[in-house]
Amino acid sequence: MSRSWMTAIKKTVNNRVFFDRTLFCRACVWISLCSVLLGTVKAQETQATQPGMVPNGDTAQGNIGADDAVANTTQGEHPLEPALALAAKGLDSLRANITDYSCTVVKRERINGELQPHEYMFAKIRHKPFSVYLYFLAPDAVKGQEVIYCDGKNDGNMLAHAGSGVRAMVGTVSLKPQSMLAMQGNRYPITELGVENLAKRLVEVAKHDKQFGECEVNFFPKAKVNGRICTCVQVVHPVPRRNFRFHLARVYIDDEHLIPIRYEAYDWPKEQGGQPILMEEYTYMNVKVNNGFTDADFDPTNSAYKFNSGG
């Protein structure tokens, strides 16, 4: 076989391989786009019936296809009223008395049907302007990672760097808080972090849900979270309704500071008599209020941090 024939065959094979790879890549992009579009439609449908921000990854599954909630027709106080009053009182107290705090945040979330491992983060949070510094403590896959967000700074972006491995070689990256990369492995953006945001969402959801019946509320005083004395408020929607965000939720409100330091929400059981399915839980431990944080605490050039190190 002549060299020219060999060259022609090789060129044809290479072109075919390139063509197949191109088709494969286009198919992957199309599948990803379809997933995003379907997720967006699902989020829009959920937003039409439920309050607050639609979480990334999953909303409750047990109420898909369920009927709308029944309007509250009972006389007298709705079961949620005392819980709403307590949450509103705590939010007012927080805004009046707490300017910033440090804590250890422990979160566990269900993303795309899979319950993720617990993540532990040391956090500094300031209310005005809203600012967050995070240092990831565990698990090992994220240990050493740092994130900074400061409202009005860095073009509205969050700054982040990995703690180790190949990703750490990239150095500091700037991301929109709700971008695909920033939301990877998270149900909510960094702009929703903190006890004030949690308190606001609790008030928002309670105001929405008290329009309807089928709501059971119980208070459990003297509950403890990491040694802190709390009042636990448990809310249950026994019947799946598309208007509700959860089947069961528990909020633990610190008796001293009147702030929510733990929140857990569950989906309806998959079968009659089954266990509720955990969707998300957040705990704020070792809370130290009014540290006097300054802009330097949320500045990536702070010498105590490792931003811009790149490898």
- pLDDT for 48 beyond 80: no
What is residue 53's predicted lDDT score, i.e. its pLDDT?
Answer: 66
- pLDDT for 198 beyond 90: yes
Residues in the chain, overall count: 311
DSSP letter for 65, please. Answer: T
Please tell me the least confidently modeled range out of 22-36, 173-187, 201-215, 218-232: 22-36
- pLDDT for 8 beyond 90: no
Please tell me the least confidently modeled range out of 40-49, 78-87, 179-188, 300-309: 40-49
Q: Rounded to 10 degrees, what is the CA torsion of 258, 264, 267, 268?
A: -70
- pLDDT for 222 beyond 50: yes
Mean of the per-residue pLDDT values of the chain: 86
Residue 182 DSSP SS3: helix
What is residue 17's predicted lDDT score, i.e. its pLDDT?
Answer: 38
pTM, 2 dp? 0.83
What is residue 119's predicted lDDT score, i.e. its pLDDT?
Answer: 98
Q: What is the pLDDT of residues 254-268, one digit of tens each?
A: 999 999 999 999 999
Euclidean distance between CA atoms 68 and 304, whole angstroms:
52
What is residue 5's predicted lDDT score, i.e. its pLDDT?
Answer: 41
Higher pLDDT pick, 37 / 233: 233
Q: Which of 311, 279, 250 is nearest to 116 (CA)?
A: 279
Name the band, by pLDDT with cuts 50, 70 and 90, for residue 80.
Answer: very high
Are 213 and 71 contacting, i.e. CB atoms less than 8 angstroms apart?
yes
- pLDDT for 298 beyond 80: yes
Higher pLDDT pick, 155 / 272: 155
- pLDDT for 138 beyond 70: yes
- pLDDT for 220 beyond 90: yes
Euclidean distance between CA atoms 272 and 239, whole angstroms:
11
What is residue 46's predicted lDDT score, i.e. its pLDDT?
Answer: 42
DSSP 74-92: -SS--TTHHHHHHHHHHHH
Question: Percentage of the chain surpassing pLDDT 90?
Answer: 74
